[in-house]
Chain A
């Protein structure tokens, strides 16, 4: 952690300490610039055997496997996996709807905790971290870097992030898919209150660019339960027209629409092979991150 920790309300040192024990792995090979913990698409010098390859002129004779020559009288070169670092891009939705919170915390605060902790963990293990705040436009964009000073800049941006304006997540995700040149781990924190058809295209775009995508869909318990007794005038937090509704009239259909959206969204996540986490913001964010880390750790072990 850098200076000014007293003002980093979204960071909890105890949580950081506990989560540091579990490394963050990518699910896909990364093209890092330095050695790291993540698999690379290239062969390297790690201790993990990858494959045998026929000797070609120019290969280092020291890498010839003489035992294999003894058995087959052919020259084979023994290759090993390469380990590299990753580029983690955190995309934070700062639109108006992220300011909703029915209890002590709202969605943006919850997202800040997730983003800050994740950035810290990544930098701690030598990975590069960047941050993009998205609302009606790209509010702020920090490219991935792996030095601790950059982490402080990220924390500063997180601190200043405020929920306002409408959501233009879809075009910005398309833009990010194109602008991030190398394979990266992209973590998106949003409520995704957008038509699933539009979101599907941008996720497919990111997947096509071979990025490892993680999605945290943040939902408030009140949005899930929708338990109102009196007629209510709902003000759109993203500046749209207000809606007057009698809960007795609309609750059932609200739940119907919500259930349909969540089912469609989950189906889309599965289709795009995205690491999807639906989060009710009354859950512990430590537990949510632990699920992310543990899930990736297990996936690496299986490989």
Chain B
């Protein structure tokens, strides 16, 4: 049990007052010579059972009266979980608010979204519990913002729903840093989330460090997890999977592919009207859904003959989660995908050139430019998407140019030269060549992400079929993407803030590997790196909300994010004009997954920390905490009445005694 006025509990010793008065009264006796002692002795012998109990009951009732009054004045709060939250008022209350799209869902039986319900409950609860400081860390910015009062949660722009996913570990780190830098006292950290696995990244390696950092804090920290793990009501979500502009004889056509997914009663046929909005021109088609998913492939929308670039929005009618009912995209003529191949021996780079030059899509154009390390200064870097480097690692000015390219989101794949030098690039250098008499195959590789990820259909790349005879040792810190059966790293990614630097431990030469012979893996690797590198090219960009850093104040909104502040555009879904380029932001793919963390996993994440979990439903209108002083007042009155009844003298008379 918790109290709004805990200081008044200091008056609790007053409950001993009736006992003290009783004792004092006992001391204030009179002395009386008495003859009829025989009756007093008999009365003492009769002093058993209820007669003696009555005295104790009266004393207990009087004690209860005082206790009831003190407790009522201390304004007790009640709820099952709050019994654990006993204690004094927190010095600082930090609120971690999950604003991700999944929090905009309405649970079964609810009328408001999880985010709204969470904000309302938090505002009411924190107002009652009280604190000296309130700090909000929202999931979009993960920056601490001081609040005047908990009621500010209801209207603050930092609490509105966004398209960006939450990153709970990052939010907890921000809370930790705030506590460290501000030297807070006793701190309560309230987390309001729908417990989606994607937001919590429970399998990530940062949780142990977070746990340890909080455990090591000198001040007392208590976590309150206001969780909304329930799935939403029947909900339909929309996601555009592909958009491309196609030039035809009659003009231009926009080809859109999309997925519609629904949960709940998935067996019933349902007609979903899908609205397309291309640069303000709207059209609608009805889609008949018979299962839980429907894929619309290559839906053609005619464009004006001269319309080369533009934006679009696809939407379905409102349901229990409005943030997954629309998707934004931009389109443009595909840019020339240019690869820079830097090789000492042109013959060695032939396979690489082929892999980079053959376009994956019919309407895109791939170009490969050959160069030597000494000619780098004359390269038009702003047109390059990928650099394939099969030469000794650059040094001096060349290294600076290449580093600058990486920092501007370019991609580089490094191949070992025949004679590895001592140069290093991003702390990476080549070791010595190893030649094995027998073929070496790949032991394991990461199929979930990056260059060797499975295809969109889920099929694995044939990495295991590759054979290697000669590999060069990669020296330096990196993330292995593929490891040979002998334990050596075949492909690794160097950690960089921007762009991507990969190192492959062999070449495409037939004497070294079967990469060229079994060219699928090489081709996919190169094309994926090229696609990522070319995203910085062209006039349009398609991104996940919340992944773009920097100030968005000078962005111009074209559609979506109607209520968002301009400095928050980067976290909202919509289309924006940024430096004359179009930018479409949407929710992450993982936001469509509805799997929530189990209670066991939550306990594991907060192992060793003081956690109180409050599972709540959106439909629950009752407050998390309730003042129950009335109950204590009633208890006091009941005790008063009981005491009065117990003290009532029995009717008797001296005459009756004489009779």
Contact = CB atoms under 8 A, between A and B. Distances in A.
B26 A249 contact: no
Interface string B633-659: 000000000000000001010101110
A69 interface: no
A253 B34 contact: no
Interface in A179-230: 191, 193-195, 220-221, 223-225, 228, 230
Contacts, number: 122
A250 interface: yes
Contacts of B51: 249, 252-253
Interface stretch (B42-50, B289-297, B534-542): B42-50
Given A221-B654, A254-B39, A257-B39, A230 B29 contact: yes
B35 A193 contact: yes
A288 interface: no
B563 interface: no
Nearest to A259: B657
A250 B40 contact: yes
Q: Which residue of B33, B41, B55 has the most chain A CB atoms within 10 A of its CB atom?
A: B33
A231 B27 CA distance: 8
B38 A194 contact: yes
B34 A256 contact: no
Nearest to B55: A249
Chain B interface, >50% SS class: helix
Given A252-B650, A253-B51, A262-B657, A234 B37 contact: yes
A258 B35 contact: no
Interface stretch (A28-36, A77-85, A96-104): A96-104
B25 A236 contact: no
Contacts of B658: 224, 262, 278, 280
A243 to B, nearest CB: 5
A149 interface: no
Interface in B11-45: 25-26, 28-44
A249 B35 CA distance: 19
B43 A253 contact: yes
Interface in B325-381: none
Contacts of B650: 252
B34 A236 contact: yes
A103 to B, nearest CB: 14
A233 interface: yes
A193 B31 CA distance: 21
Given A249-B47, A254-B43, A234 B38 contact: no
Contacts of B38: 193-195, 257, 261
Contact of B31 (A223, A232, A254, A261): A232
B21 to A, nearest CB: 12
A254 B40 contact: yes
Nearest to A278: B658
A243 B31 contact: no
Contact of B29 (A231, A259, A278): A231
B652 to A, nearest CB: 6
Nearest to B27: A231
Q: Which residue of B28, B37, B42, B46 has the most chain A CB atoms within 10 A of its CB atom?
A: B37
Contact of B35 (A191, A252, A254, A255): A191
A195 B39 CA distance: 11
B44 A243 contact: yes
B249 to A, nearest CB: 113
Contacts of B36: 97, 100, 191, 193, 223, 258
A236 B28 contact: no
A2 interface: no
A253 B54 CA distance: 13
Nearest to B647: A248
Q: Which residue of B30, B43, B52 has the most chain A CB atoms within 10 A of its CB atom?
A: B43
A243 B29 contact: no
Contact of A257 (B25, B33, B42, B656): B42
16 contacts: A193-B37, A224-B658, A230-B25, A230-B28, A231-B29, A234-B33, A235-B31, A235-B34, A236-B34, A238-B37, A240-B37, A243-B40, A252-B652, A253-B47, A261-B38, A280-B658
Interface of A: 96-100, 107, 191, 193-195, 220-221, 223-225, 228, 230-238, 240, 243-246, 248-250, 252-262, 278, 280
Closest 3 CB pairs of A and B: A97-B35, A257-B42, A100-B35
